[in-house]
């Protein structure tokens, strides 16, 4: 399934986006459901007299992020619990630093498992939430980049003009020329596809709509000038699409770069500011998102963690700039979606932060442990035995994270006593918690055999 998802993602980036709804095995069904939602929102807006793609994008974004909110809350809870248990995990890593023998590696793994069990979380908890959300977010691009494929009324706005244009000599050559339409290169394969060359009317019309939906105002006017017999139909369709795409004076189908260029040529400096607002707001809202997200602690003694934190920090600083660059060249509708998404995420994050700050972490740990214990009982494992081991293996970790003054007063164990306690704890855990046939139980058999022969 991961391979299929990877191919879906690759097609989003490299292949032309067809007007026909995407049929990928993972993203296809998700995009279809999202398309139904988008179509329903636009239908409602039309019924109340404001059929507007920009407004539909904002409402659609709010709906989707509200649906994803339970996953976001779970992810933040995991981050909060991780922040509390990280000092214990780092202390374990430090204690076994440089020890590569099998016994040390197994003891480290068992201690780490015990800490995760103590807090009732899974090492893959955050990844699972991301994997659930990722296909949905990728599918969103399918819908926003090709609205006519999913919103019936927008597609119908191109008819009957596109039918007449498809039957006009030279229309395919004109629309496939990147000098006439800057987005034509995206659909080069469609113009040479067997369905197109064999005269499949529906495929030809869909390809024309793919190109025209992303056409700028000047490209529409150039089309009308080149086909004067269809000038009335072309102008009417262009005006209808401009009406659908107009949001606060900006055409969502035009890129900010095009809007700024046309505004400078016309001396309309207010439109220059409006055109630049999309990429600037995108960068600012993205930056705000980063600031509101829980930040990892810089106190880690682990070099790998420090390197990862530095990489994440650099990425967080670069992403707002990249967002502004992309928004400047992509259609304004895409930039509006990014801004709306960032604003919704920021509001969500403020509310979630308040909720998490009020959360009783100890009560949450107790709740997680109760769930874990119930699961262990179903597997035939006594939770009390595992809890004894968890307390035994993490006792020294807690004292290692205490302040220096506290450490001086606490009774200390010699290195030999620590190693003996760890050996007994490991032996006890292996005998009582290792499942028959597991790697741990097999390791026990090998150890017992070696000890017997050595005697």
Residue pair 376/96 in contact (Cβ under 8 Å)? The answer is: no
Q: CA quadruple 141, 144, 150, 155: dihedral positive or negative?
A: negative
Distance CA 122, CA 128 (A): 10
* CA distance from start to end of the chain: 52
Residue pair 186/11 in contact (Cβ under 8 Å)? The answer is: no
What's the DSSP call for residue 147? G
pLDDT band at 301 (very low <50, low <70, confident <90, very high): very low
pLDDT at 295: 56
Q: CB within 8 A of 181, min separation 6: which ones?
A: 175, 211, 215, 219
pLDDT at 11: 40
Q: What is the pTM of this model?
A: 0.64
Is residue 434 over pLDDT 70?
no
Write phi, then psi, for 68 (nearest 5 degrees): -85, -5
Is residue 10 over pLDDT 50?
no
- What burial letters (b/e) apply to 96-118, b meaning 16+ CB within 10 Å? beeeeeeeeeebbebbbbbbbbb
pLDDT digits (tens, 9 = 90+) for 66-96: 888 887 777 777 777 777 778 888 888 888 8
Nearest to 143 by CA among 21, 42, 246, 254: 21
CA angle 96, 99, 105 (to 5 degrees): 75
Distance CA 309, CA 305 (A): 6
Using alpha carbons, list the distances in angstroms from residue 9 to 20, 92, 120: 17, 38, 33
For 167-181, 197-211, 424-438, which range has the lowest pLDDT when averaged over its residues?
A: 424-438
Average pLDDT over residues 144-163: 89
Write phi, then psi, for 163 (nearest 5 degrees): -65, -45
**Under DSSP, is residue 246 helix (H, G, I), strand (E, B) or coil?**
strand
Is residue 369 over pLDDT 80?
no
- What burial letters (b/e) apply to 375-410, b meaning 16+ CB within 10 Å? ebeeeebebeebbebbebbbebbeeeeeeeeeeeee
pLDDT at 59: 93
Nearest to 60 by CA among 77, 82, 42: 42
Is residue 125 over pLDDT 70?
no
Residue pair 426/110 in contact (Cβ under 8 Å)? The answer is: yes
Specify the length of the chain in residues: 455
Is residue 406 over pLDDT 50?
no
Nearest to 196 by CA among 371, 19, 330, 451: 19
Distance CA 434, CA 453 (A): 23
- Share the mean pLDDT of the chain: 76
Q: CA quadruple 106, 108, 111, 116: dihedral positive or negative?
A: negative
237 versus 250: the higher-pLDDT residue is: 237
Average pLDDT over residues 368-387: 72
Is residue 50 over pLDDT 80?
yes
């Amino acid at each position: 399934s991961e391979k299929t998802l990877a191919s879906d993602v690759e097609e989003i980036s490299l292949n032309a986006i067809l007007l026909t709804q995407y049929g990928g095995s993972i993203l296809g069904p998700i995009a279809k459901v999202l398309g139904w939602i988008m179509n329903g929102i636009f239908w409602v807006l039309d019924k109340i007299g404001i059929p507007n793609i920009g407004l539909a994008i904002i409402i659609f974004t709010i709906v989707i992020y509200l649906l994803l909110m339970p996953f976001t809350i779970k992810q933040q809870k995991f981050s909060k619990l991780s922040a509390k248990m990280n000092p214990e995990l780092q202390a374990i890593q430090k204690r076994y630093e440089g020890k590569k023998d099998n016994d040390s590696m197994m003891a480290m793994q068992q201690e780490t498992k015990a800490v995760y069990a103590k807090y009732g979380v899974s090492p893959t908890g955050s990844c699972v939430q991301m994997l659930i959300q990722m296909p949905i977010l990728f599918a969103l691009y399918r819908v926003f980049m090709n609205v006519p494929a999913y919103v019936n009324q927008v597609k119908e706005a191109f008819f009957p003009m596109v039918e007449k244009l498809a039957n006009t000599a030279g229309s395919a050559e004109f629309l496939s020329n990147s000098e006439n339409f800057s987005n034509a290169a995206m659909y080069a394969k469609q113009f040479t596809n067997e369905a197109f060359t064999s005269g499949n009317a529906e495929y030809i019309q869909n390809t024309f709509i793919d190109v025209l939906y992303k056409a700028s105002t000047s490209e529409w006017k150039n089309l009308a000038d080149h086909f004067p017999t269809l000038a009335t139909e072309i102008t009417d369709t262009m005006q209808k699409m401009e009406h659908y795409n107009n949001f606060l004076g900006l055409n969502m189908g035009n890129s900010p770069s095009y809007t700024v260029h046309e505004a400078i040529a016309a001396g309309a400096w207010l439109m220059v500011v409006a055109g630049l607002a999309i990429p600037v707001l995108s960068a600012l809202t993205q930056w705000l998102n980063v600031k509101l997200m829980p930040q990892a602690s810089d106190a880690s003694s682990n070099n790998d963690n420090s390197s990862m934190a530095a990489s994440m920090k650099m990425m967080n600083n670069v992403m707002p700039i990249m967002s502004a660059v992309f928004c400047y060249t992509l259609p304004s509708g895409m930039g509006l979606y990014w801004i709306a998404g960032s604003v919704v995420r920021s509001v969500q994050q403020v509310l979630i932060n308040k909720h998490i700050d009020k959360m009783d972490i100890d009560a949450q740990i107790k709740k997680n442990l109760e769930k874990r214990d119930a699961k262990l009982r179903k597997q035939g494992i006594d939770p009390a035995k595992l809890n004894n081991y968890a307390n035994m293996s993490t006792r020294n970790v807690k004292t290692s994270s205490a302040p220096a003054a506290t450490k001086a007063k606490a009774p200390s164990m010699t290195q030999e006593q620590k190693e003996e306690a760890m050996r007994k704890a490991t032996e006890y855990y292996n005998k009582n918690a290792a499942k028959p046939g597991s790697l741990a139980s097999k390791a026990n058999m090998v150890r017992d055999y070696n000890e017997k022969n050595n005697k």
